[in-house]
Structures are given as C-alpha cells and as structure tokens.
Amino acid sequence: MADTATDPRDALIARLPKAELHLHIEGSLEPELMFALAKRNGIAIPFASVEEVRAAYDFSNLQDFLDIYYQGMGVLREEQDFFDLTMAYLERAHADTVRHVEIFFDPQGHTERGVSFDTAIGGILRALDAGEARFGITYRLIMCFLRHLDEESAFATLAQAEPWLDRIAGVGLDSSEVGHPPAKFARVFAAARERGLKLVAHAGEEGPPEYVWEALDVIGIDRIDHGNRALEDSALVERIVADGQTLTVCPLSNLKLCVIERIEDSPVKRMLDLGIAATVNSDDPSYFGGYVNDNYRAIAHALDLSAADIARLAANSFAGSFLPEEEKQAHIAAVEAALSS
C-alpha cells in the first residue's frame, strides 16, 4: 500500500487541470448550506443537526439516495438559493483545479414543487457566469429529464426550456433507472436533437447492458453517464470503443450506492485497459463524501493507477467534453505539461 501522505500521485492529482462532466448541482448541496437555506426560507427540515444529516447518508441503492436527494433540494426556493448552491460548488471545483464543468440540473425536481424553471436556471447560470469571471472555469449546462416521470412531463420541461435554449448545451436522463429504459424518452430526445442540443443519459448504473444499447441505438446519445454494466457485454464494449464514446464514471458514488462493494472494484482501470474513454467525476459530492479530486485519489490508490493513467483520465475529461476542438487540444496540452512538470 502506498504511503498516501507522500504519494506523488496526490500532488499530480492536485495540480492536473481537469473537466468535470457528471455533476448534479443539486447533489452538491452541503448540509451546512441546507440548514442555512432552510432557515432563510422558513422551511422545516427533519434533521436536528448537520451531523444528523450526514448520518442519514447511508444508502443501500440508488432509490434510497434519490428519496433523500429530492427531499434535500426542497430548501431551494429563490433564485439566490440556486446561485449560492452553484457558487459553492464552483469554489470546490476551483480548489480541485477543475478548468471546465458540464453540470446537470433537474428542472422537474423544482417545478414539481412550485419553483419555476426560470428561477432555477436563472440562479444557476448567474453563478456559472460569475464563476467563469472569477475562476476562469468554463461551463456547459445540461438539463436532465427525470425518468420516473412520464414523457409528457419531459416534453413540458423542454417547452419551458425554449427561451433558454441558447444557454443550454444538452439534455440528460437521470433518476430511478430500472424500469425506466431510455426508449421511454426516444421522442423527447429526438425533439431535443432537432433543437441542436447534445444528448446524454445515465445508463448501466443499476440498469442492464440493454439500456446502454438503447441509449446508443434508440436515442443516439453523445456521451454515456456511468456505463458500469456495459462491461458485462463484450459486444457492447467493442461498440463503445469503436464509437469513441466517453463514459462519465463516478467511483465514490458507485461505492455509496452499492453499485460496487469495495472501491477496489471500481471499473475505471479495466475500462482504460479495454480502450474505453473513461473519466472520473463526483456525481453528487455532498451525498457521496467527496469532490472530484477525492474520487481521483480514491481510485489512484485502490487501483494502483500510474501517473500516466491519471493523466489519461484528465485528458479524457477534456476530449469527452462539449468544448470546441481547439479548446480541448489546449487543455490536453496543459494536462501533458502538468504530467511532466
């Protein structure tokens, strides 16, 4: 076991420029901010202390987590709340030498409880612009459809997004995976594609390899979120490699949601060895116990990654982003410089 206190890989991770491609902004709500917003908005929450909130973050599957995640976002009511949430995340990202973020938000998680689409997106975008000015972190915003809701609700959400389409890079698909395959949303994804949006979807987190095939063949996605269970199907692995598809893997999330039993079971190294463009991301960092660099460090030690593996993951994060080609190349050159410095 490497001595983590002096492990040179930790210093490499700390200085490597990186992009984060799988981050639910509502999942970055730290308990301290949850309490502050509950107080500011006069909302009662069923916890007496920050410690009690953290103790409740003990999940045995995705649904366990989602129940508490939707409850937690109930403190977000005003535009300023979404601004504060997003700015707090960007400060963490900046500390982790993140140079570019592609963040998700869940509009239906807000509109379903009477908070308008405009309130949520307005605060998030104002913070993303402020973060770009303050930290130089560029961004893309992706709105996700909640897959446990129906197609009609997804179409209504796309209609609400219409005035904001020049500020939204893509649409995604999240929430309870099993029983809600990508094909359920084929038509709304096609409508999003017609509007020039990029398409991503959570697939193969808990759902079977067939859901990943559907995301590729029925939806025609541009990037796969998670994709762990794709490794069960060698023809699917071949397809992912041949298409050059990026997978946004989330190691600490996988551990907390019991997608893997031990961090040593993270598929990231196996994916790299198979030629899959894997990336490392935090998913819902407040709930899963770590931001992006915590995820890099956890797998660097558990999977005994080399410095070259770690730099490959950072390079993949830019290559798999929705940045223009020249910007991708400039970031990848900076990754290489950081590796050899």
Q: Is 205 noted as a catalytic residue in this protein?
A: yes
List binders of ligand ADE among 175-234 (CB under 6 A): 175, 202, 205
> Is 169:141 a contact under the CB 8 Å cutoff?
yes
Q: Which stretch binds Zn ion (CB under 5 A): 29-37, 235-243, 260-268, 280-288?
A: 280-288
DSSP for residue 283:
B
Please give the Cα distance from 97 to 93 (Å, whole number): 6
Comparison of 63 and 97: residue with beta carbon closer to ligand ADE: 63
Restricting to residues 281-320, name those near Zn ion by CB under 5 A: 283
Per DSSP, the residues of 125-143 read HHHHHHHHHHH--EEEEEE
Residues in CB range of 93: below 8 A, 6 or more apart: 20, 101, 131, 135, 137, 291, 292
The reply on whether position 174 binds ligand ADE by CB under 6 A is yes
- Give 17 or 74: the residue with its C-beta nearer to ligand ADE: 74
Shortest distance in whole angstroms from residue 27 CB to ligand ADE: 5
**Per-position x/- string for 115-154, each x denoting binding to ligand ADE as judged by CB under 6 A, each - no binding:** ----------------------------------------
Q: Supply 305's token pair.
A: 């990654």
Binding mask 2-21 for ligand ADE (x = CB under 6 A): --------------------
> By CB under 6 A, is residue 30 in contact with ligand ADE?
no
Q: Rounded to an integer, what distance in angstroms lies between the CA atom of residue 209 and that of residue 204? A: 6
Residue with tokens 């689409």: 117
Q: Which is nearer to ligand ADE, 81 or 283 (CB)?
A: 283
Stretch that binds Zn ion, among 33-41, 159-167, 233-241, 278-286 (CB under 5 A): 278-286
Interface with ligand ADE (CB under 6 A), residue from 253, 279, 317, 321: 253
Q: How far apart are CA 183 and CA 320, in angstroms?
A: 24
Is 24 a binder of ligand ADE (CB under 6 A)? yes
Number of H helices, E strands in the chain: 17, 8
